[in-house]
Structure 1
Amino acid sequence: MYRSLFPRDMFAEMDRLQREMQQAFDLSPTIRGFGRSGFPALNVGGTAKTVEIYALAPGVDPGTLEVHLDRGILTIAGERKGAAPASDGKETLHINERFEGAFRRVLTLPDDADPESVEAKARDGVVHITVQRQASSLPRRIAIQ
């Protein structure tokens, strides 16, 4: 309830502040997606005719991935199985930094994305999703009469 102006353990307080700031950055939405350091990592870009999304998901079977588009919201979901060997009590795993478990990434597509023209391909752990832009929004030259 009462906090001293100078905490007893300055390094512990600095560590707490750093963790709180990191959590705030991790939970803040980016321009098109939600959260940094999510799995799978996403690259989102586009051309005049398409929106290009690359989901980097090594070790995930493409048959288990689910890609849904509903009212301009693209969802990529699936599960990544663990790569560590089953423990029989004789081995000790000291560090396991590889993500395993269920995941879900959600993106808001631009208003000119055509929900009828979506294509997804998977190769070498990279899922490439192409969403065509609506023809009415594409740049065109107007002839002067």
Structure 2
Amino acid sequence: MFQSTFSSDIFSELENLHQQVQRAFNAGSGIRGNTIGTYPMLNVGKTPQSIELYAFAPGLDPASIDVNLERGVLTIAAERNSDLPTPNEKSTVHINERFAGRFRRVLSLPEEIDPSDVSAKYRDGVLHIQLKRRESAQPRRITVQ
């Protein structure tokens, strides 16, 4: 007598709709917004003495990574070559989910960074950039007399 226009599992239908909207707008599900397709993925944190940045970029030659700091803007650029054969009449690529090509990430940094005290190390596919904070920006304990 009464026929529902909804699926028997409304929650799975809502999840499907949510996934379609995400794909349509290429939006990440995280609180930071659009993260899908951004390469390399970054983790950024700070200590009282420094800002620590980790870029996850496996398969790079450390000599090919270009890290620049100019006027409070940090730029990371490099190129990762594809490990797959070039598609032609004798080879076919079925799945290619790994990023290959040139990339560039640009980040604005706070003024508290000391541009003369920055180090970068690449190990096991992770680029670690340590940006020291100016002495005047570091927390200090003041003795009460």
Superposition TM-score tier, normalisation by shorter sequence: 0.7 to 0.9
User: How far apart are 1:86 and its partner, in Å?
Assistant: 3.2
Show the counterpart of 1:105: 105
Residue identity in the other structure for 1:130: Q
User: How far apart are 1:95 and its partner, in Å?
Assistant: 1.0
User: How far apart are 1:144 and its partner, in Å?
Assistant: 2.2
Tell me the alpha carbon deviations over residues 15-52 of structure 1, each in whole angstroms, 9 at most, x when there is no partner: 985544x24x36xxx5xxx9513111111111111100
| Identity within the alignment, % | 49
For the residues of structure 1 that align with 2:22 and 2:141, how far apart are their CA atoms?
53
Residue identity in the other structure for 2:135: A
For the residues of structure 2 that align with 1:111 and 1:41, how far apart are their CA atoms?
23
Tell me the alpha carbon deviations over residues 61-120 of structure 1, each in whole angstroms, 9 at most, x when there is no partner: 111110011111101001110110234522211111111111001111122111111000
Measured on the aligned residues, the alpha-carbon RMSD in Å equals 2.2
Length-normalised TM-score, structure 1: 0.76
Residue identity in the other structure for 1:58: P
Length-normalised TM-score, structure 2: 0.76
For the residues of structure 1 that align with 2:101 and 2:92, how far apart are their CA atoms?
21
SS in 1 for 2:136: helix
The alpha-carbon distance between structure 1 residues 131 and 94, as it changes in their structure 2 partners (threshold 3 A), is: same
Q: How does 1:1-145 map to 2 (within 5 A)?
A: 18-20=22-24, 22-23=25-26, 25=27, 30=32, 35-37=34-36, 38-145=38-145
Aligned residues: 125
Residue identity in the other structure for 2:113: A
Show the counterpart of 1:6: none
For the residues of structure 2 that align with 1:18 and 1:51, how far apart are their CA atoms?
32
Partners of 2:62 and 2:122 within 8 A in 1:
yes
Residue identity in the other structure for 2:118: V
SS in 2 for 1:136: helix
Unpaired segments ≥5 residues, structure 2:
1-16
For the residues of structure 1 that align with 2:85 and 2:114, how far apart are their CA atoms?
44
